[in-house]
Amino acid sequence: MAKPNYSFEKRQRELAKKKKKEEKLKDKAGRKVGEAGSDDAPSEDTSDGTESAPPTEGQPAP
């Protein structure tokens, strides 16, 4: 009977972890770039300092 090659299995787990970590970093960098682009867009703030939120259900609009 052949004996198990534990070092091969360990190496495969390490490679899988490394690949997953790189993918996470890539996704995180992509989100960071996407967020930076949204900062350039003008915000919907009013000049008088009031918020313009839609009324919640069951409450009349002001």
pLDDT higher at 12 or 48: 12
Question: What angle (nearest 5°) sits at the alpha carbon of residue 37, between those of residues 32 and 39?
Answer: 100
pTM for the model stands at 0.47
Q: CB of 36 within 8 A of CB of 29?
A: no
Q: Please report the pLDDT score of residue 39 as a whole number.
A: 52
Q: Model confidence over 20-45: pLDDT tens digits?
A: 999 999 999 988 877 766 555 555 55
Residues 6+ apart with CB under 8 A from 15: none
Q: What is the pLDDT of residue 23?
A: 97
Alpha-carbon distances of 22 from 12, 14, 30, 34, 36, rounded to whole Å: 15, 12, 12, 18, 21
More reliable by pLDDT, 42 or 17: 17
46 vs 34 pLDDT, higher one: 34
Cα distance between residue 5 and residue 1, in whole Å: 12
